[in-house]
Amino acid sequence: MIQSGSWLDTDGLSRALLGWWKVSGRNYPWRARRTPYRVFISEALLHRTRAAQVQPVYEKFITQYPSFRILADSDQEELVSMLRPLGLFWRSRMLVNAARQIVDQYDGQLPEEKNELQLLPGIGSYISSAIRCFAFGFPEVLLDTNTVRVLGRIFSEKITDSSRRSHRFRSLGARLMDREQPANFGYAMIDLAALVCVPRNPKCQVCPIANYCRYGLSHRSELRRR
């Protein structure tokens, strides 16, 4: 049994989390083949949208628009029709405008630098970090409502509406980051939040990192006392 305080063993946490993810992580088509274009499209479609909704649209999208150049020349009405099931109707125009900018300024190749990515239409801090992590292998910390919840429980930190933009949470995320497998680690954190470390009644009894988490250690101790 790992003793309380072992949550500071970041290497152990990473190994446990990645081991769990290889067996229990979710399979999505955008994870199987992570080219910069495919990652860009998937992150744009996943913005404020459930993955189950995105999956069939993503596969159709990639088939019909397999590159930035083809997307830049796409018919706007066809694109709007394809993306209609996802809502957020501004997204179709954003994707076309971004594709045109990438073709015009970067010869159709997605830039790697964060400041350049954030100059593209619709690309903010989270999506630019996700692109750098999943497409280019940079150890980017991904902070959204769900991953912040996981970090808050691991380190027993108070979570507020501004935590996603907090330097404190970014520092905690960087502390845990597996720099040899940043993309897998990012997916593992996302899947842990979705499947185990859920908002209400988290499943600490089956959590792969409960012994490295202040909330998990406290929860298990409480269950043993009952």
Check residue 89 and give its pLDDT: 84
Class of the domain covering 6-26+140-225: mainly alpha
Q: Which residue pairs, CB below 8 angstroms and at least 24 apart, start in 207-212?
A: 208/16, 208/17, 208/19, 208/20, 209/13, 209/16, 209/17, 209/20, 209/154, 211/1, 211/2, 211/6, 211/7, 211/16, 212/2, 212/6, 212/7, 212/9, 212/12, 212/13, 212/16, 212/154
Q: Do domains 6-26+140-225 and 33-123 have the same CATH topology?
A: no
Cβ neighbors of 176 (< 8 A, separation 6 or more) are: 10, 13, 14, 151, 154, 185
Instruction: Give me Rg for the CA atoms of the chain.
Output: 19
pLDDT of residue 76: 85
Query: Count of H helices and E strands in the chain?
Result: 13, 0
Locate the domains of the chain by residue range.
6-26+140-225, 33-123
Q: What is the pLDDT of residue 5?
A: 42
Percent of the chain scoring above 70 in pLDDT: 93
Predicted pLDDT at 1 = 34
> What pLDDT was estimated at residue 26?
96
Q: Which of 175, 212, 218 is nearest to 192 (CA)?
A: 212
The mean pLDDT of 89-112, rounded to a whole number, is 96
Chain segment 145-198, per-residue pLDDT in tens = 999 999 999 999 999 989 999 999 999 999 999 999 999 999 999 999 999 999
CATH number for the domain whose boundaries are 33-123 = 1.10.340.30
Amino acid identity of residue 141, one-letter, is V
Cα 80 from Cα 162, distance rounded (Å): 33
Phi, then psi, of 69 in degrees rounded to 5 = -65, -45
**Residue tagged active-site, from 43, 116, 140, 180:** 43
Distance in angstroms (rounded) separating the CA atoms of residues 67 and 59: 13
What pLDDT score was predicted for residue 8?
A: 65
pLDDT for residue 63 is more than 90:
yes
Calculate ∠ Cα 169-175-178, nearest 5°: 120
The predicted model gives 95-105 an average pLDDT of: 97
Tell me the mean pLDDT in the region 80-88.
90
Residue with the larger pLDDT of the pair 5 and 119: 119
Annotated catalytic, 43?
A: yes
Rounded to two decimals, what is the model's pTM? 0.90
Task: Quickly tell me which residue has 């970041």 as its tokens.
Answer: 10
Q: Would you say residue 96 has pLDDT above 70?
A: yes
Confidence of residue 4 (pLDDT cuts 50, 70, 90): very low
